[in-house]
Amino acid sequence: MTNISTDRAMKKFGTAPVFFTSISTILGAILFLRFGYAVGNMGFWGAILIILLGHTITIPTALAISEIATNTRVEGGGEYFIISRSFGLKIGSTIGITLYIAQAIGIAFYIIAFTESFSPFFDWFAGFAGFALPKQVVSVPVLFLLAYFVLKKGSGSSLKILYVITGILFVSLLCFFAGSPVASGNASATAPFANCGFFNSAHFFFWFAICFPAFTGMTAGVGLSGDLQNPGKSIPLGTMLGTVTGLVVYALVVWKLSVSASQADLLQDQLMMSRIALGGSIIIPLGLMASTFSSAMGSAMVAPRTLQALASDKSFPMRKINLFLAKGRGQNHEPFNAAFLSFVIALVFVLLGDVNAVAQIISMFFLITYGSLCLISFLNHFGSPPSYRPRFRSKWFLSLGGFLLSIWVMFKINAMYTVLAYAVIVIIYLFMENSNKEQKGLVNIFKGTLFQLNRKIQVFMQKHQTRMDAEEWRPAAICISSHSFERNKALDMMQWISHRHGFGTYFHFIEGYYNEQTFSESQELLAKLIDNQKEQHSALYIDTMISPSYTSALAQVIQAPSISGMENNMVLFEFDKQHPEELTTIINNIPLVKAGNFDVCIFGGSAAAVRYRNGIHVWITDDDETNVNLMILLGYIIMAHPDWRKSFIKIFSICATGKSETTKQDLEQRIAEGRLPITLTNIEIITLPEEKTFNEAVSEHSQQAGITILGFTNATPTAFFTAFDNIGDILLVNTDIAKNIG
């Protein structure tokens, strides 16, 4: 209880700091310096459209943050904490680093904008001294002053200053709304809604990029999550209140500018608000100072906490770096070292001094972050994990819309910047992937979504199943073997079948009764099998089956549903041609499989390596009228695997004397109707002389084949299965339902 009480005492802030941090960042530099230009360039409706488009991104993001924050205990790091605990530390660190960079650059952006309030002084000095002072003579000392307050006094003192500054900001806005229209030589220019319209639509996204940082402040308060007494309450309430207040204020400011000044005046004076406001020559520069300094202070409070949280999660490769940046001072664990580094980064951009360039960079990184937050919310809605129980709920379509809109707007602003921004994301992720291999990565992001998709697809397919003879056939094969580690040709065959056109499930058979010991053994063997398949990029699904006998295992498997969503329709038996006694078990179990209307394949593996370039030989006899299409289809399906990319299919057909031409025409028609990649030169019709058997013909022509495919029937004698010892791998095929090859 003591630790809990102490923790609560340290995290002493309520909802007000979240609101004031958000609104002071929202009503910042862009409001005073660029919205006059935006109205002058785009017109009233153009500026309103900028506001609406910006808030169609920020409002879904605010709702997503509010939702996620009420589902989990939000600690230090704000948006980074939310993303990392939802997507895992690899993705969280990747986006968290870009978010931190945007926040650190944001400090510089607001300091540069703060310097613009001294424009009258710079103009006076240029006229008095005859040369212009660089803006850095003001911006650099102000940055050092801000650094002093944050580093020396901590978040408590910073928030007290923030309240005072926010008060000045609201007073300046009230004076602006109380002001009168500016006199102009053209009387119609200052008439109500003189700037009503939508101008220069081709430059819309340029001005959107310049103005968008004005709306990004709504998440600034989230960065205080580690200092809040009740983040689950304060973050949703403070964030939404700040977002809605900002939307209303910006719409009113655009209206006031439109009815108070001509387009020419708005384009000529970036501080046009000072000419409109009551006492504007003093109050608007003062409001600009207040807004930009408060925004800079908000960013200066949030950025170090993001970096501190990243370091606390050991996101950086070197232990000393993580310890240095995670270190805090005082009871509230103030991020002193992280703040120091943030101000160093800010100093670099302050020395650049270009508001527009910095604004576009910030927009890109914030759009990535906002899109990620909306995507988290959408995936949680769609995936519906039982652990996702937020007290505040958004709508899935709002989150999806916010995510898609963020990406679209990025490309519309600057396609090159967008590609570069995502390139940075990819590079950072690859770095994190390499240095934090044990953490969750991309594989874990869509698990819930894939589960829901798979569930819905399987139920849909079951409800809309048609008869096999009415649908396009494809294999859904099962194989059970206890020899997975002694020989791998059966695994290869299952991979070939399931690579593109079919689906395969391979079961490693463990003979015995299901108990704790056999289950533990099965999990160890399964892990080894999966690990062995990783390098082969296999599409084969692998599992284990514990059962007292092979027959009972087979009975269990053929009754179980397939994870592919389609019913299993084929059983592949396998045996080693050097151990023909294994055929006894297979032949004894064929009636069991046939009872379920399964197609049967028996794969006989030889000791020789597969000769891929020697082709797949398909042998057809008069007894194979039902089997023939399945035999040819299996050859085509196997050929789709990359292992067989330089191979071919050759068909041998045994026919009676005088029927060779008819047999060849029939085969050519089957191949043409089925659009199979089999050349006519690879069809060979064989008429056997009386002294030569079928087995001898196969041995003569297919001794060096990659695979030889043969058909068999229910009446085929047992001796047939062992009659091909002197050739390579064989695949024996049997079906009771002829397949459609067309």
Tokens for 226, please give them. 């580690």
Say whether pLDDT at 261 is over 80.
yes
Which residues lie below 8 Å from residue 209, measured CB to CB, with a gap of 6+? 359, 360, 363, 413, 414
Say whether pLDDT at 5 is over 50.
no
Using a pLDDT cut of 90, give the percent of the chain over it.
23
Strand partners, 238: none
Please say whether the beta carbons of 112 and 139 come within 8 A. yes
Say whether pLDDT at 88 is over 80.
no
- Higher pLDDT among residues 630 and 445, named by residue: 630
SS3 label, residue 333? coil
Please identify, among 445, 462, 491, the residue that sits at the C-terminal boundary of a domain: 445
Say whether pLDDT at 8 is over 50.
no
Q: Give me the pLDDT at residue 418, please.
A: 83
Gap between the terminal Cα atoms of the chain? 74
**pLDDT tier at 437, thresholds 50, 70, 90:** low
Please say whether the beta carbons of 74 and 287 come within 8 A. no
Pairing of strands 599-605, 707-711: unpaired
Q: How far apart are CA 86 and CA 372, in angstroms?
A: 10
Q: Tokens 């989230």 belong to which residue?
A: 222
Q: Give me the pLDDT at residue 530, please.
A: 87
Q: Is residue 530 located within the same domain as residue 634?
A: yes
Structural domain of 129: 8-445
Query: For the domain that residue 36 is a member of, what is the CATH number?
Result: 1.20.1740.10
Q: How far apart are CA 240 and CA 376, in angstroms?
A: 18
Q: Is residue 438 located within the same domain as residue 489?
A: no
- Higher pLDDT among residues 68 and 206, named by residue: 206
Please say whether the beta carbons of 722 and 628 come within 8 A. no
Residue 257 included in any domain: yes
Q: Is residue 422 located within the same domain as residue 495?
A: no
Residue 53 included in any domain: yes
Tokens for 391, please give them. 């007290």
Q: Give me the pLDDT at residue 603, please.
A: 96
Work out the average pLDDT over 66-74: 71
Q: Is residue 547 located within the same domain as residue 608?
A: yes
Q: Give me the pLDDT at residue 576, please.
A: 94
Highest-scoring range by mean pLDDT, 54-68, 202-216, 442-456, 632-646: 632-646
Q: Give me the pLDDT at residue 444, please.
A: 56
Residue 462 included in any domain: no
Say whether pLDDT at 229 is over 90.
no
397-431 confidence digits (pLDDT tens) = 998 999 999 989 888 888 887 888 788 888 887 87
Please say whether the beta carbons of 547 and 436 come within 8 A. no
Q: Is residue 542 located within the same domain as residue 661?
A: yes
Please say whether the beta carbons of 637 and 629 come within 8 A. no
Number of domains in the chain: 2
Query: Does the model's pTM come out above 0.85?
Result: no
Say whether pLDDT at 468 is over 60.
no
Residue type, 538: S
Say whether pLDDT at 71 is over 90.
no
Q: Is residue 198 located within the same domain as residue 127?
A: yes
Task: Kindly report which listed range (135-144, 161-170, 650-659, 712-721) carries the lowest average pLDDT score.
Answer: 161-170
Query: For the domain that residue 558 is a member of, what is the CATH number?
Result: 3.40.50.12370
Say whether pLDDT at 462 is over 90.
no
Please identify, among 445, 473, 506, the residue that sits at the C-terminal boundary of a domain: 445
Q: Is residue 487 located within the same domain as residue 431?
A: no
Q: Is residue 502 located within the same domain as residue 567?
A: yes
**pLDDT tier at 727, thresholds 50, 70, 90:** very high
Please say whether the beta carbons of 324 and 337 come within 8 A. yes
289-321 confidence digits (pLDDT tens) = 877 777 787 778 788 888 888 888 888 878 888
Q: Give me the pLDDT at residue 187, please.
A: 45
Q: Is residue 99 located within the same domain as residue 47?
A: yes
Say whether pLDDT at 4 is over 60.
no
Q: Can you give the length of the chain in residues?
A: 742
Q: Is residue 115 located within the same domain as residue 223?
A: yes
**pLDDT tier at 469, thresholds 50, 70, 90:** very low
Please say whether the beta carbons of 112 and 358 come within 8 A. yes
Q: Is residue 383 located within the same domain as residue 488?
A: no
Residue 455 included in any domain: no
Please identify, among 445, 474, 504, the residue that sits at the C-terminal boundary of a domain: 445
- Higher pLDDT among residues 669 and 10, named by residue: 669
Sign of CA dihedral 673, 675, 681, 682: negative
Work out the average pLDDT over 187-210: 68
Residue 58 included in any domain: yes
Residue 169 included in any domain: yes
Say whether pLDDT at 467 is over 60.
no
Please say whether the beta carbons of 435 and 322 come within 8 A. no
Residue 475 included in any domain: no
Q: How far apart are CA 293 and CA 112, in angstroms?
A: 10
Q: How far apart are CA 373 and CA 507, in angstroms?
A: 40
Q: Give me the pLDDT at residue 565, please.
A: 67
Residue 527 included in any domain: yes
Say whether pLDDT at 546 is over 70.
yes
Q: Give me the pLDDT at residue 242, please.
A: 85
Sign of CA dihedral 627, 632, 637, 643: positive
Q: Give me the pLDDT at residue 155, please.
A: 54
Mean pLDDT of the chain: 82
Task: Kindly report which listed range (264-273, 370-379, 456-465, 640-649) carries the lowest average pLDDT score.
Answer: 456-465
Q: Give me the pLDDT at residue 76, please.
A: 59
Query: Over the Cα atoms of the chain, what is R_g?
Result: 36
**pLDDT tier at 1, thresholds 50, 70, 90:** very low
CA dihedral 90, 92, 95, 96 (to 10 degrees): -120
Say whether pLDDT at 652 is over 90.
yes
Q: Tokens 């501190």 belong to which residue?
A: 308
3-state helix, strand, coil in the chain (%, to 5): 65, 10, 25
Q: Give me the pLDDT at residue 613, please.
A: 93
Q: Give me the pLDDT at residue 508, please.
A: 95
- Higher pLDDT among residues 635 and 565, named by residue: 635
Which residues lie below 8 Å from residue 362, measured CB to CB, with a gap of 6+? 102, 105, 106, 109, 213, 216
Say whether pLDDT at 191 is over 60.
no
Task: Kindly report which listed range (51-60, 237-246, 460-469, 657-666) carries the lowest average pLDDT score.
Answer: 460-469
Q: How far apart are CA 636 and CA 412, in angstroms?
A: 46
Residue type, 26: I
Q: Is residue 574 located within the same domain as residue 675?
A: yes
